[in-house]
Amino acid sequence: MAAPKRGRSASAQSKPGRALALILIAIVALTGGMFLSGHTTPRLGIDLAGGTSITLEAKADQGSAINKANMDTAVEIMNRRVNGLGVSEAEVQTQGDRNIIVNIPKGTNSKEARDQVGTTAKLYFRPVLAQEATGSAAATSPSPSASGSSTASPSPSASKSGSTGEKATSSSSPSASATSQGRAVTDALKADSTPSASASASSSASPSAPATGGTDTSSAQAKLQAQYTALDCSKKAQRTTAGEGAKPADTTLGCGEISGVWYKYLLGPAAVDGTEVKKAQAVFDTQTAAGWQVTMTFNGKGSKKFADITGQLAKNTQPQNEFGIVLDGEVVSSPYVSSSITGGSAQISGSFTQDEAQNLANMLSYGALPLSFQEQSVTTVTAALGGDQLHAGLLAGAIGLLLVVIYLVAYYRGLSLVAMASLLVSGILTYVLMALLGPAIGFALNLPAVCGAIVAIGITADSFIVYFERIRDEIREGRSLRPAVERAWPRARRTILVSDFVSFLAAAVLFTVTVGKVQGFAFTLGLTTVLDVVVVFFFTKPLMTLLARRKFFASGSKWSGLDPKSLGAKPPLRRTRRSGPVETKEA
Amino acid sequence: MSKLGNLGARLHRGEISYDFIGHRKLWYGISILITITAILGLAVRGLNMGIDFQGGAVFTTEKTSISVSQAEDYAKEASGHDAVVQKLGNGTLRIQIAGMDTKQSDQIKTDLAKDFKVDPESIAADLVGPSWGDQIANKAWQGLAIFMVLVVIYLAIAFEWRMAIAALVALIHDITITVGIYALVGFEVTPGTVIGLLTILGYSLYDTVVVFDSLKEQTKDITKQNRWTYSDIANRSINGTLVRSINTTVVALLPVAGLLFIGGGFLGAGTLNDISLSLFVGLAAGAYSSIFIATPLVADLKEREPAMKALRKRVLAKRAQASVEEEMADARPVSDEPDDDAAHAVVGPRTQPASRGRGRGRPSGKRR
């Protein structure tokens, strides 16, 4: 290509250099960001990387509505369960309005994961043997009243005095220095002789207490005690493993968050099973201004057990008058008891917000999950198959791209350089964004997404075709290249925008409405459509403007793809004032 | 290839053109015939719904030397159901067992692994509950409906309601044909197929929209002249964008062909194959319908408008007159146009034989 002969009249061309510089800066910045973030490859989906993907569908058969709040709770709980298996990268997310997708990377026991995910009832009431704040936050904040203030009281009468009067007592409990509490438990465990009579009282009376209390080997207790001492609930990794695999009859550990502070618990054997809760609901107490409360009713067996346990707990002192509501190993609430609660119904009061009360009620009602779920599909992909699919997808993309490039070169000659450069820019942007979106929004490249990207080659290339054909039409009119490029643009631009909008609309509708694999496909399609517009506006058009100044293109060289002769242009019979001088110069 | 460029030039100048609008009855007939065939095929043969729509499992083994019939026996023994086994291009076996519960499948997988003497972990499994496919299909229909409503609204705003209707008809036409071909040929319908089908939505309209865009531009000031009827201009729009339509379709089909080749040849089956197959069929139908169905339909609808009827009357009258006066009249009308842009947009002299006289007759000095 010849050196540019004229730099003048650049201002008339809407500063192509600036747009080009802009998009180059954007590319460099994004690529830099990609390398800085350390995620240089897109996150691969289960079908490409191997692993198990489980799709669950919520069933509306428990009288609980399938709404966003319930789905979110379910996701949170499942997440806790799956990650409790020791998988760090399992992900649980809602899809559509009633589906949950659980993706478990390879190398995990998928069978166990499947068992864990869908089960509903994993809720236990366990007496609290010891409680202690952990993490740095504990030292500074002597926990606010919300913490210990949850009170279980016999419904309905005792709630009045209970919630307000005893708040003072309870608020002191977590703030009482961590060490003293810890010691109390140590004693309780070490010997049954007990400095704290209450502890022994509770343990001896609770159903399976003897097993844990004295007769069992003290080594197990010592071990548990050591674990308890070492446990730091402010660390996520420790939280998920605490109390892992504990049977209902075991004494176990647990963590619970109260107002942003993580507490660790030593918990006795399960006294009441979550399934024995007949019903729980959040109610707003208008009479006593106690705010939101959770009322629960037990079934026959549950009532008796609950009466027993509360009777024992009531005799104890903080924190051993509390029972922990343990959900999948996490203590979701630890109300204390002031008297035996008989009659099969109780209410938990405290300074709940409506959401908190609702959540707790959900957990109590439905065990763990607010909804019941049915397995819709389980896909297990071995690493080998995943690799094959990835390989095939990339190969298909390469072949498709190659065919398109061959076609473009054959048809558009020199212009195809512009098309290829634009495709390249588009490709780089797509790749970088995919890599960045992985950690950012959890985007994972799956096979349909790869398909979407390949199909998008066509859509992207089409924008160039629309533009090029317009330019050629203008040249056929007898215009020289520079005015042709400018005149063709507004029209091509409109066509591109309208058709890309339709394409984007399709992708957006698909993305919001559909589930499963379709979504990944729709996402890539939408992304590439947006990028197509960006590339055409900020790259292809400015590049054309710049190239139109080059002799190779402007003079309509045979290989430029813009040869007026081979395009069958009429020789310009009369020169317009605008294009006149340009052409004379070229001649 | 440069022949196509040449063709483009000649189409552009209107030296050659095909009267799409004039022959529309023929193409409508063909389309109706195809559509009826498709619907009949759908009604009689029905769709071959894949595992995903009836519930069941698909196991994919690693590369193995076990024969297909042997594997079928093993699978039948393990599951108690008939199994369909395919040997894939890369030497792996794909075993489909319909009609079983997701809960049973673990046991079957273990049994199969034992029979094949491989590690259960090396068998990929795709277990699908019976209602999963329905859910996907329902969602797809829902998406389709929402998309159609939105697109009709959008096109009605961006263009006009007649074009929106025509685009919708073309869209339904494409989908019917694609589904019909699936029924007739007996291709298996999977979620991948549904994805492909839904993508056709965007594509089919994409093509149509480009033709409409050119049509809208060229008919901007149609009532200000009396040389061309709406149909004439519609026809010219199709011919003018024909090269682009061909290019677009080719460029869209090439990557899909790549997918189909790899999906079918290399992997043998699976998502790649399913998506690309329905895309391939749908794209072809889409390119056809935007040219032969959508635009003629717009012309048909448009010609019913009083203004267009009046125009047609004027044009016909003028042509009758022109046939008397011959070429004289031919060259002149352009200079009647006061607005250069309008002349450009409406008359589009470049695409008509008359335009040859344009350089002389037209006051191009007026331009800006």
- pLDDT for res A102: 82
Q: Are residues B196 and B287 in the same domain?
A: yes
Q: Are residues B139 and B228 in the same domain?
A: yes
Helix B191-218 and helix A481-513: axis angle, to 10°? 140
* A226–B contact, CB cutoff 8 A: no
Decide if A91 contacts A442 (C-beta within 8 A): yes
Residue A47: band (very low, low, confident or very high) from pLDDT cuts 50, 70, 90? confident
A448: closest CA among A515, A403, A393, A399? A393
* A461–B contact, CB cutoff 8 A: yes
Domain encompassing residue B287: 2-49+133-302
**pLDDT surpasses 50 at B346:** no
Closest residue to B210, CB basis, from A111, A495, A578: A495
Ranked by mean pLDDT, the top range of A49-53, A357-361, A397-401, B196-200 is: A397-401
**pLDDT surpasses 80 at A215:** no
From first CA to last CA, the distance across chain A in angstroms is: 17
The first and second tokens of residue A48, run together, are 């490409």
The stretch A88-107 carries a mean pLDDT of: 75
Q: Report the C-alpha dihedral over residues B283, B286, B290, B293, rounded to 10 degrees.
A: 150
Residue A178: band (very low, low, confident or very high) from pLDDT cuts 50, 70, 90? very low
Closest residue to A477, CB basis, from B124, B272, B350: B350
Q: Are residues B104 and B247 in the same domain?
A: no
Answer yes or no: is B68 within a domain: yes
Q: Are residues B108 and B153 in the same domain?
A: no
Q: Are residues B198 and B285 in the same domain?
A: yes
Q: Report the C-alpha dihedral over residues A503, A505, A506, A508, rounded to 10 degrees.
A: 120
The stretch A137-149 carries a mean pLDDT of: 38
Residue B328: band (very low, low, confident or very high) from pLDDT cuts 50, 70, 90? low
Which residues make Cβ contacts (< 8 Å) with residue A228, sequence separation at least 6? A130, A185, A253, A264, A266
With CA atoms as reference, the chain B residue closest to A512 would be B143
Residue scoring higher pLDDT (B4 or A438): A438
**pLDDT surpasses 70 at B181:** yes
Are B258 and A400 in contact (CB < 8 Å)?
Answer: yes
Are B136 and A514 in contact (CB < 8 Å)?
Answer: yes
How far does A314 lie from chain B, in Å, by closest CA?
45
A316: closest CA among A350, A291, A340, A282? A340
The first and second tokens of residue A33, run together, are 């960001």
Residue scoring higher pLDDT (B264 or A512): A512
**pLDDT surpasses 60 at B206:** yes
Token match 């009369």: residue?
A574
**pLDDT surpasses 60 at B230:** yes
Cα(B12)–Cα(B105) distance, rounded to whole angstroms?
62
DSSP per-residue codes, B284-296: HHHHHHIIIIIHH
| A-chain residues near B273 (CB < 8 A) | none
Query: In this predicted structure, which of B76-85, B176-185, B248-257 has the lowest mean pLDDT?
Result: B76-85
CATH value at residue B95: 3.30.70.600
E strands in A157-276: 252-258, 261-267, 272-273
Q: Are residues B43 and B109 in the same domain?
A: no
- pLDDT for res A158: 33
How far does B262 lie from chain A, in Å, by closest CA?
6
Are B262 and A403 in contact (CB < 8 Å)?
Answer: no
- pLDDT for res B313: 81
| A-chain residues near B13 (CB < 8 A) | 476, 568
| A-chain residues near B143 (CB < 8 A) | 509-510, 513-514
**pLDDT tens for residues B253-265?**
888 888 887 776 6
Answer yes or no: is B174 within a domain: yes
- pLDDT for res A557: 67
The stretch B139-168 carries a mean pLDDT of: 86
**pLDDT tens for residues B52-94?**
777 788 887 777 777 778 778 877 777 777 777 877 766 777 7
E strands in A119-216: 123-133, 151-154
Cα(A14)–Cα(A361) distance, rounded to whole angstroms?
63
- pLDDT for res B330: 53
Are A380 and B125 in contact (CB < 8 Å)?
Answer: yes
Tell me the residues of chain A between 467 and 506 that have a Cβ less than 8 Å away from chain B. 469, 472-473, 476-477, 491, 494-495, 498-499, 501-503, 505-506
- pLDDT for res B135: 76
The first and second tokens of residue A240, run together, are 């998920």
3-state secondary structure of B10: helix
**pLDDT surpasses 70 at B247:** yes
Residue A188: band (very low, low, confident or very high) from pLDDT cuts 50, 70, 90? very low
Decide if A452 contacts A520 (C-beta within 8 A): yes
Give the count of Cβ contacts less than 8 A between chain A and B. Answer: 272
Tell me the residues of chain B between 282 and 341 that have a Cβ less than 8 Å away from chain A. none
CATH value at residue B32: 1.20.1640.10
Decide if A543 contacts A418 (C-beta within 8 A): yes
Beta bridge partners of A298: A277
Beta bridge partners of A125: A272, A325
* B51–A contact, CB cutoff 8 A: no
Q: Are residues B61 and B108 in the same domain?
A: yes
3-state secondary structure of A497: helix
* B247–A contact, CB cutoff 8 A: yes
- pLDDT for res A205: 35
Residue B4: band (very low, low, confident or very high) from pLDDT cuts 50, 70, 90? low
Q: Are residues B164 and B242 in the same domain?
A: yes
Are B256 and A576 in contact (CB < 8 Å)?
Answer: no
Count of H helices and E strands in chain A? 23, 15
- pLDDT for res A361: 76
Tell me the residues of chain A between 387 and 406 that have a Cβ less than 8 Å away from chain B. 388-389, 392-393, 395-404
Query: The pTM is what?
Result: 0.65
DSSP per-residue codes, A95-129: ETTTEEEEEEETTS-HHHHHHHHH----EEEEEEE
| A-chain residues near B282 (CB < 8 A) | none
Answer yes or no: is B18 within a domain: yes
Cα B344–chain centre separation: 31
In this structure, what are the phi and psi dihedrals at residue A478, rounded to the nearest 5 degrees? 100, 10
Tell me the residues of chain B between 129 and 168 that have a Cβ less than 8 Å away from chain A. 129, 131-132, 135-136, 139-140, 142-143, 146-147, 150-151, 154, 158
Share the mean pLDDT of chain B. Answer: 75
Q: Are residues B11 and B137 in the same domain?
A: yes
Closest residue to B209, CB basis, from A380, A458, A502: A502
Q: Which of B302, B320, B338 is the last residue of a domain?
A: B302
Q: Which of B302, B330, B356 is the last residue of a domain?
A: B302
With CA atoms as reference, the chain A residue closest to B203 would be A503
**pLDDT surpasses 50 at B349:** no
**pLDDT surpasses 60 at A270:** yes
The stretch B351-363 carries a mean pLDDT of: 43
Decide if A509 contacts A519 (C-beta within 8 A): no
- pLDDT for res B256: 85
The first and second tokens of residue A331, run together, are 């203590």
Are A455 and B256 in contact (CB < 8 Å)?
Answer: yes
Closest residue to A499, CB basis, from B209, B255, B365: B209
- pLDDT for res A81: 65
3-state secondary structure of A245: coil
- pLDDT for res A330: 74
Cα(B29)–Cα(A144) distance, rounded to whole angstroms?
79
Token match 């747009």: residue?
A19
Answer yes or no: is B361 within a domain: no
Closest residue to A385, CB basis, from B60, B150, B154: B60
Query: In this predicted structure, which of A44-53, B15-24, B212-221 has the lowest mean pLDDT?
Result: B15-24
Answer yes or no: is B259 within a domain: yes
* A454–B contact, CB cutoff 8 A: yes
The first and second tokens of residue B82, run together, are 């008939």
Domain count, chain B: 2
* B198–A contact, CB cutoff 8 A: yes
Ranked by mean pLDDT, the top range of A257-271, A307-321, A523-537 is: A523-537
Are B198 and A510 in contact (CB < 8 Å)?
Answer: yes
Select from B63, B107, B108, B244 the residue whose CB has the most chain A CBs within 10 Å, as the one to mutate to test that interface.
Answer: B244
With CA atoms as reference, the chain B residue closest to A398 would be B258
- pLDDT for res A577: 44
E strands in chain B: 48-49, 56-60, 83-87, 93-98, 124-128, 188-189
Q: Are residues B248 and B148 in the same domain?
A: yes
Are B102 and A55 in contact (CB < 8 Å)?
Answer: no
Cα(A261)–Cα(A143) distance, rounded to whole angstroms?
8
* A97–B contact, CB cutoff 8 A: no
Which residues make Cβ contacts (< 8 Å) with residue A485, sequence separation at least 6? A471, A474, A544, A545, A548
- pLDDT for res B13: 64
The first and second tokens of residue B61, run together, are 């083994």
β-pairing, A151-154 vs A336-337, is: parallel
Q: Are residues B175 and B43 in the same domain?
A: yes
Q: Which of B129, B158, B192 is the last residue of a domain?
A: B129
Closest residue to B259, CB basis, from A388, A408, A451: A451
- pLDDT for res A72: 81
- pLDDT for res A240: 62
Report chain B's C-alpha Rg in angstroms. 28
CA angle, corner A548, sides to A543 and A552, nearest 5?
110
Share the mean pLDDT of chain A. Answer: 71
Cα(B340)–Cα(B348) distance, rounded to whole angstroms?
11
Answer yes or no: is B314 within a domain: no
The stretch B160-187 carries a mean pLDDT of: 86
The stretch A179-197 carries a mean pLDDT of: 32
Decide if B153 contacts B235 (C-beta within 8 A): no
| A-chain residues near B164 (CB < 8 A) | none
The stretch A222-251 carries a mean pLDDT of: 72
Q: Are residues B37 and B66 in the same domain?
A: no
The stretch A54-76 carries a mean pLDDT of: 74
The first and second tokens of residue A191, run together, are 């010997």
Decide if B128 contacts B263 (C-beta within 8 A): no
* A525–B contact, CB cutoff 8 A: yes
- pLDDT for res B364: 43
Query: In this predicted structure, which of A303-312, A365-374, A567-576, B293-302 has the lowest mean pLDDT?
Result: A567-576
A444: closest CA among A152, A150, A53? A53
**pLDDT tens for residues B128-149?**
777 777 777 787 788 888 888 8
Query: In this predicted structure, which of A17-21, A172-176, A335-339 has the lowest mean pLDDT?
Result: A172-176
b/e map A562-587, b = 16+ CB within 10 Å: bbbebbbbbebeebbebbeebbeeee
Residue A131: band (very low, low, confident or very high) from pLDDT cuts 50, 70, 90? confident
Residue A117: band (very low, low, confident or very high) from pLDDT cuts 50, 70, 90? low
- pLDDT for res A108: 60
3-state secondary structure of B322: helix
Closest residue to A454, CB basis, from B106, B247, B259: B259
E strands in A164-260: 252-258
**Domains of chain A, start order:** 11-40+382-586 (1.20.1640.10), 51-118 (3.30.70.3220), 123-365 (no CATH)
